[in-house]
Structure 1
């Protein structure tokens, strides 16, 4: 099954749950209106990670990229039986459980297995699919490997934290087990001979093998429990009425054998369609969309980050009474805290943490998080620039009758900006690349789009080369523009 949410996200959930009022939890337990809420809202938001064919993956449908697969079919069936519309929200698998617990999604259908550990945090329906595990290898190694015991002295790969990863660690001897975050990365590592094999679910293994003639699948022979090889739908804890209603749909799907009769064959058709044209030019619209969102995030973050930076810099330099001292300490604490925590954690906290109180879209959350992060660094650039301006400039302005505010606005800041322009330009270039972090919450920037193309085409290297070139074009162009204005400032 897919990987469990990592230690980092587990810690984040713990923090978020601590800030949720206990009275709300007791109220939910006392009155379960989960089914009524969904039907009243008229929309059922399904969270999924579309990198796991044939469960869920991206495909080109009528010229547009869409999320398809057997899990999507199940989601559509559930929504239809509830009498509501289905809305699919894409994000990394590690983020799904946090998204469910913070209300970003109403349910998870993403090849998730109902393990005892997960049942402590979410409610599961009856299982809708029972699978197994294979190991994908390079076809040239078919005679060399037979099962998990054949990899002694070699390296076996699996998704980090997944049940097959844990099984490989426990049930193999003298074998190095390497974890990665996505199936496409694992297949790329396999084809570049960094891995000898990749453990994954049988349907996924069959999907990759049927669409890549260089790969083959062998039995894993892992000793797995039923819960570790089955899939179920996850809902928030306490959603008893909703789970009971959806269980009727799940039972009907199993009774009519819809997964094998309809849903898997339909997914197979999309898998074949994906490999009809795998040229990178065929996906120019996806890359163009990625460039658009990357630029939107970068430009907005630079603008707001600059404003935040000015405020923080002035606050850090404030001198005098108690209020100014408090502002100085607060600004210093903010800068140190932001610079001392990873931007990825900040993005997740804004999206999921603020999601407890305000339901912010992923793009907005990404811009807010990157702006707040950029502001801390810009504040130090500006503070350094202000300090670099000779004190005589301030004294001259004051002697002309300018107030402190006018002196700062018309004399000091313009000169400081000229001095720190290279540093601000470097921050802009850095933000173009750092915008890729927001792909973890489902923002369709360049990294996200490249993962879509990799999922569509089963080609690992080509999409990476394309986005490397695109990032270089963006950063090089921005660098030339910034250098032009820097020369203009020097001449002035």
Structure 2
């Protein structure tokens, strides 16, 4: 017990040390932010493309493209800096972590410069100011007139946004329902899980114009000067980059490019999306999601099984220090959520090694699976009667031959059902990698929802596709399970 406590404390100290190191990039003593970007020739822009008209994806002639007002602003800034714009997409609540760990150079994604955010990042000048609206179902038009009409009702808002905070502070007597995705909020509204959705004026107007079942009400929220409008988030201390970006934003304001060009362009793309919102039109999105899901699962299964076998053999071995380390690894992985592990691999380890999102997600899923597979294999080996081992050794078989020809074949028949369940679960668990921008099936589902303004149908299609994948795999696993239990006789 004492050794276990010491090992636990060591693990905690290691991760606390890593946490301190992770914060170092944001605290650089010298400011070479602009020079660094110009040297590498790229400006990496963090973005969550499910928030029209700021940023969203379009399906034009079967090709995906991220468009919107913020994208046009990003292009202008990159052009002025003389570099290439690279858009890195991920969930909105992962953007600040990506900025603080150096995954992106700036966040241009309809973000408000709140005082809480300013504690950790710098902001450019405000590039767009608009009020806050409340989306409601058209059938409820006579029930609500402004934010004071929602007493004792439920209001939805994206977690971590200005609208979420304003709804909590300025709408007494209501319950705020926070969600991470704009499409989920609209679906909740249309299915009457919430009575209204607080959104930025431009985004609310876009949804209302493109969905005949919704209308936007003026929220009349009170907004302080520190919170008003949208700005570009930058790493702390990046003064030179901030000044260069502000110069571009001043040009955009002087020429009124947002109203004259950027919003007009975004509106034309939104019309492209709503011309054909059939799910057949978006088949390539779902196909790409299935491909990524299966690819991640396959690689994770291979790595997970190999790692699981290694960990199981170590835990069954006699080298105490290796057994302790393997046990600590298994217990730690099983005791922490997969989502946290994915974010740690991508953002934490990514500070030292720039790991692409797809590879980071696959590694995290594989390492997680390895811990569970090791317990399945260890339990299967322990289920073989000791008399079998003793009989094999008495016949002159070595320890390795006993394991290979006697123990493992019997253990395999016992562990196969549990191992099969782990493989099936793995396909479903890969859905979590969407939080770091991996275009798996869930990520593509979100994009289709945002593009088509339809909430339920894309979910139904994703459910069917997941069922086809898992059911097909379960049939294959059942076939080999029967062969193991009833081997063919010649």
User: TM-score w.r.t. structure 2 length?
Assistant: 0.94
Q: Does 1:110 align with 2:109?
A: yes
Match of 1:439 in 2: 434
**Which piece of structure 1 moves more, 114-123 or 74-83?**
114-123
Match of 1:156 in 2: 155
Distance 1:295 1:227 in 2: 46
**Which piece of structure 1 moves more, 327-336 or 287-296?**
327-336
Match of 2:337 in 1: 342
Report deviation, 1:288.
0.5
Note closer, same or farther for the CA distance 1:21–1:470 as it changes in structure 2 (3 Å cut): closer
What SS does structure 2 have at the residue aligned with 1:307? helix
What SS does structure 2 have at the residue aligned with 1:334? helix
Q: Does 1:422 align with 2:424?
A: no
CA contact (8 A) 2:62 2:284 kept: no
Deviations 1:7-41 (A, max 9, x none): xxxxxx9975512486x777x32x32221111111
Match of 1:386 in 2: 381
Distance 1:218 1:114 in 2: 24
What SS does structure 2 have at the residue aligned with 1:311? helix
What SS does structure 1 have at the residue aligned with 2:290? helix
**Which piece of structure 1 moves more, 279-288 or 116-125?**
116-125
Distance 2:129 2:226 in 1: 9
Deviations 1:54-101 (A, max 9, x none): 111111134211111000001111111111111111000111111111
Distance 2:66 2:17 in 1: 32
Distance 1:37 1:211 in 2: 42
Note closer, same or farther for the CA distance 1:419–1:271 as it changes in structure 2 (3 Å cut): same
Deviations 1:241-298 (A, max 9, x none): 1111111101111111111111111101111111111111111111010010000111
Within-5 A mapping of 1:290-329: 290-319=289-318, 324-329=319-324
CA contact (8 A) 2:59 2:282 kept: no
Match of 1:483 among 462, 475, 478: 478
- Structure 1: stretches of 5+ with no match in the other structure: 1-12
Deviations 1:210-244 (A, max 9, x none): 00111111111111113323111112112111111
Match of 1:19 in 2: 21
Match of 1:367 among 347, 355, 362: 362
Distance 1:409 1:301 in 2: 25
**Which piece of structure 1 moves more, 65-74 or 168-177?**
168-177
Note closer, same or farther for the CA distance 1:247–1:178 as it changes in structure 2 (3 Å cut): same
Note closer, same or farther for the CA distance 1:383–1:288 as it changes in structure 2 (3 Å cut): same
What SS does structure 2 have at the residue aligned with 1:286? helix
Structure 1 runs, 4 residues or longer, greater than 6 Å off: none
Q: Does 1:245 align with 2:244?
A: yes
Report deviation, 1:400.
3.7
**Which piece of structure 1 moves more, 341-350 or 242-251?**
242-251
What SS does structure 2 have at the residue aligned with 1:227? coil
What SS does structure 2 have at the residue aligned with 1:144? coil
Within-5 A mapping of 1:265-304: 265-304=264-303
Q: Does 1:459 align with 2:477?
A: no
Distance 2:362 2:184 in 1: 27
Note closer, same or farther for the CA distance 1:173–1:240 as it changes in structure 2 (3 Å cut): closer
Match of 1:7 in 2: none
**Which piece of structure 1 moves more, 368-377 or 54-63?**
54-63
CA contact (8 A) 2:113 2:228 kept: no
Within-5 A mapping of 1:59-70: 59-70=58-69
**Which piece of structure 1 moves more, 279-288 or 35-44?**
35-44
CA contact (8 A) 2:304 2:373 kept: yes
Match of 1:196 in 2: 195
Match of 2:9 in 1: none
Match of 1:402 in 2: 397
Distance 2:189 2:62 in 1: 31
Note closer, same or farther for the CA distance 1:349–1:405 as it changes in structure 2 (3 Å cut): same
Report deviation, 1:159.
1.3
Distance 1:193 1:274 in 2: 25
What SS does structure 1 have at the residue aligned with 2:125? coil
Distance 1:91 1:347 in 2: 13
Report deviation, 1:410.
3.0
User: TM-score w.r.t. structure 1 length?
Assistant: 0.93
CA contact (8 A) 2:114 2:162 kept: no
Match of 2:82 in 1: 83
